[in-house]
Amino acid sequence: MKKNFNKVLLSAFTIMILLSLIGSVSVTAVETPDQTIDVEGDAIQTQLQSNVRTMFRFRERTRLTICANIGLELDINCEALRIGDKDVIIEVEGDGDLRMTMTCTREEAQLGLMNGSLHRLRNRNTYRYLEGVCIAMKSTANCNCECKCDPDCKCVCDCECKCDPECTCPCDCDCNCESECSCVCDCQCKCDPVCNCECDCQCKCNPECKCDSECPYNGTFLKARLRIRETNQNRLGQWAYYDNENEEWVTVPTINHDGYLTAETSVLSTWTLLVPEETTSVVLGTVAIASVSAIGILAITVVYLKKRH
């Protein structure tokens, strides 16, 4: 009798465990970071080489892994104490080295993004913000570009004075090579004071004059792939960005890839994960049903054992 009781009890607990695992997702290993940088504070400025996958671990909580096909100069701010345990991956593509800023926060009150807040989007569906992390991405061009002209660069000034037919006016012109690698012609007509003369001048650069521009991190952002670790709470969520022009959130197609909710975009903005409102109700309903079912199984087991006894 005791053995039968143990078998039935073991079966009941097995069923309970299976019910609790309904909706869980198996996670496949993703590519391992090439390097991990522990950040004790909330900010870091660094440079990353192309195709080097780097994980930044802020305050031993929030993990932000970044990889790009080009060189990156990064300025990252992350309020890890508020965000907590999150695993986010951002893969960037550009046509040249980039300078980018990334700001990770738990909430963005100015954008209406507060914990549990509801958002009705242009597709007329309602979403709830539950993820507790949003990422603002910007690409900042290097504004300190300097154009250096060859010292031997010579500019030729082609000037002509247009005067009254009775007047003869010589044109006195000087050409200067400016720092922007363009030639400026400063021409004046020397004529009789009674003559009405205008100087028509064009400044031409020597075709052999070459100017090199030293502008690091002047590439163009092309697209990014965003990933965040999937959980039972967010598994039906969708990545969304804030449309500043229309002042609204816009969702993008999101798939599950290797245990991460993944989306691709060519938009630099503030990004987060939004969960369809009906999904939150379904999740709560599933948990309630699973709990009731487990209690029912235990009750049936107890009744069965009493009858057998």
Higher pLDDT, 303 or 43: 43
Residues 276 and 150 both lie in one domain = no
Residues 96 and 76 both lie in one domain = yes
Q: How confident is the model at residue 61 (pLDDT cuts 50, 70, 90)?
A: very high
Statement: residue 27 has pLDDT above 50: no
Q: How confident is the model at residue 184 (pLDDT cuts 50, 70, 90)?
A: low
Residues 229 and 121 both lie in one domain = yes
- Residue 123 is predicted with a pLDDT of 83
- Mean pLDDT score across all residues of the chain: 77
- Of these ranges, 123-132, 141-150, 206-215, 278-287, the one predicted with the greatest mean pLDDT is 123-132
Q: How confident is the model at residue 287 (pLDDT cuts 50, 70, 90)?
A: very low
User: Which of 155-159, 246-250, 293-297 is predicted with the least confidence, judged by mean pLDDT?
Assistant: 293-297
User: Which of 4-13, 69-78, 153-162 is predicted with the least confidence, judged by mean pLDDT?
Assistant: 4-13
Which structural domain range is residue 198 located in? 146-214
| Residue 302 covered by a domain | no
Q: Please identify, among 172, 190, 214, the residue that sits at the C-terminal boundary of a domain.
A: 214
- Residue 170 is predicted with a pLDDT of 64
User: Which of 138-142, 163-167, 305-309 is predicted with the least confidence, judged by mean pLDDT?
Assistant: 305-309
Residues 43 and 73 both lie in one domain = yes
Residues 166 and 237 both lie in one domain = no
With a CB cutoff of 8 Å and minimum separation 6, the contacts of 252 are: 238, 239, 240, 241, 263, 264, 265
Whole-number percent of the chain with pLDDT over 90: 52
Statement: residue 272 has pLDDT above 60: yes
Statement: residue 148 has pLDDT above 70: no
Q: Please indicate, yes or no, whether the overall pTM of this predicted structure exceeds 0.75.
A: no
Residues 128 and 47 both lie in one domain = yes
Residues 154 and 210 both lie in one domain = yes
- Residue 191 is predicted with a pLDDT of 62
Q: What is the rounded average pLDDT of the residues 251-264?
A: 96
- Residue 144 is predicted with a pLDDT of 47
